[in-house]
Amino acid sequence: MLLGRELALSWGRGGGPLLALAFYAATATLLPLATGPEPARLAALAPGSAWLALALASLLSLERLFERDFEDGALDLLALGPAPLELAALAKCLAHWITAGAPLALAAPIVAIALGASPTLAPMIALTALIGGISFSFCGGVGAALSLGSRRGGVLIAVIVLPLFAPPVIFGAGAIDAYGAGLDWKTGLMLLSAFSLACLGLGPFAMAAACRNALS
Amino acid sequence: MIAALANPRAFIRFSQWAAPLLGAVAAVLGAIGLWLDFTAPPDYQQGYTIHVMFIHVPAAWMSTFVYACLGGASFIGLVFRHALADAAARAAAPLGAAFTLLALVTGSLWGRPMWGTWWVWDARLTSVLVLFLLYLGYMALDAAIDDEAKAARACSILALVGLINLPIVHYSVVWWNTLHQGPSVFRAGGPAMPPIYLAPLLTMVLAYTAAFGALWLVRIRSEVWRRRAGALALRAAD
């Protein structure tokens, strides 16, 4: 029920995944303009920059993740309601992943191929983006919950959360590189999954603690 | 001892003599360490640049040590809701950021003659840089929330999240790429460093630790006084 509400909210207001996708496309467009359009150079950068743009795009809608409910009092109701706040945080981040992370993950191979990556990489890019998106949503949710009630929330979330994105970016881009080079890519993928699962398991507790603090 | 110091009044009394004492210890040890350093012969490989090590390595150790202190204080502040622990965590952050910056800058200056480059995207360097960014994020969050009690609790949660993440970040970048030399002091089979360099290095580590202790106590004291001044101003305004 909570998940349904969150999904409806993020589809209804703020344009859902369209905004994130547009941001993703715009960042990817700037890359060849910044580095020069030589196909060889772009192809080397393509999988990595597709991942970098993904991390940035998933930050985009995080700012409103808790703030909307915090402002209109819905977060108070969620805190008082029968379901624990941890569950509400879980539902919020899951909804964020479904509406922003998953569409972005499907767009990631297209962007990477447009930048010149080999099409054989496409399934690997989509898979790592899908798994890595979980950690982006849940790590980012912690940042969003912590910056509740502060000034300049959006920039603050980026400063807090981007250093924490280092492991998924390393594991994800590493797995894609290893896959492309015909090396052992399973290690990177497993480490990425482990990190995402850890975020999924621990993130809601940190988010709930941060929300209670902001509400008190 | 920590339980006895939890009382702010007892802490103020204790830190009144402990802070200058630690400061003096830091100055004496630092002087001895520098003297040992400059009387040590130049390294057969690294020449005179070996002297950078005595500034760089202790700073790098302190950068993680201070984060551990920050995490410990945050945990106590979060679980036992102790105001002094919040003050301690808050006071430690800029010090840790300063040590981390010192390690990065001296490392860069050392890397130029030794590796031929100011900066490489190597595992150690990158993980220390991420640590520096974590300190900056902590300080930014602290500065952005107006309500002090809320800011302290939010910062504590962030510090604990960072504490869990720090080893992951470290090992992920090690897995990613490494050029920095491995540990040469704490390792199986004893230190791989001649005593003539080990002695000044360990002295400098102790000096850095004492200096951090002194500065930390002074900063916690000023934090306690600042809060007391705020409370007095509120009472006077009533």
Residue from the list A152, A191, A214 with its beta carbon closest to the beta carbon of B150: A214
CB B91 within 8 A of CB B18: no
CB B78 within 8 A of CB B222: no
- Residue B228 confidence (pLDDT) above 70: yes
Residue from the list A146, A151, A167 with its beta carbon closest to the beta carbon of B169: A167
Give B59→chain A minimum CA distance, Å. 21
Could you give the maximum distance between any two Cα atoms of chain A, in Å? 58
Give B186→chain A minimum CA distance, Å. 26
Task: Please write the tens of the pLDDT for every residue from A18-50.
Answer: 777 888 888 888 888 887 777 777 777 777 788
CB B209 within 8 A of CB B63: no
Give A12→chain B minimum CA distance, Å. 30
To test the contact with chain B by mutation, choose from A160, A190, A196, A202 the residue with the greatest count of B C-beta atoms within 10 A, namely: A160
Task: Please give the pLDDT value at position B173.
Answer: 67
Three-state DSSP class for residue B182: coil
Task: Please give the pLDDT value at position B109.
Answer: 83
CA–CA distance from A89 to each of A10, A86, A95, A146 (Å)? 14, 5, 10, 12
Give A215→chain B minimum CA distance, Å. 9
Task: Please write the tens of the pLDDT for every residue from B111-166.
Answer: 777 777 777 777 777 788 888 998 998 998 888 888 888 888 888 888 888 888 77
Mean of the per-residue pLDDT values of chain A? 81
Q: Which residues pair with B43 in a beta bridge?
A: B47
Residue A36 is given by DSSP the state -
- Contacts of residue A73, defined as CB under 8 A and 6 or more positions apart, other chains included, come to none
At B16, give phi and psi (nearest 5°).
Answer: -60, -40
Task: Please write the tens of the pLDDT for every residue from A115-150.
Answer: 877 777 788 888 888 888 888 888 888 888 888 877
Residues in chain B closer than 8 A to A174 (CB atoms): 175-176
CB A195 within 8 A of CB A169: no
pTM for this entry: 0.82
Q: What is the ipTM of this complex?
A: 0.78
The amino acid that residue B166 corresponds to is L
Cα separation, B108 vs B128, in Å, equals: 12
For B78, the closest chain A residue by CA position comes to: A209
- Contacts of residue B180, defined as CB under 8 A and 6 or more positions apart, other chains included, come to B122, B123, B124, B125
> Do residue B165 and residue A202 have CB atoms under 8 angstroms apart?
no
For B145, the closest chain A residue by CA position comes to: A150
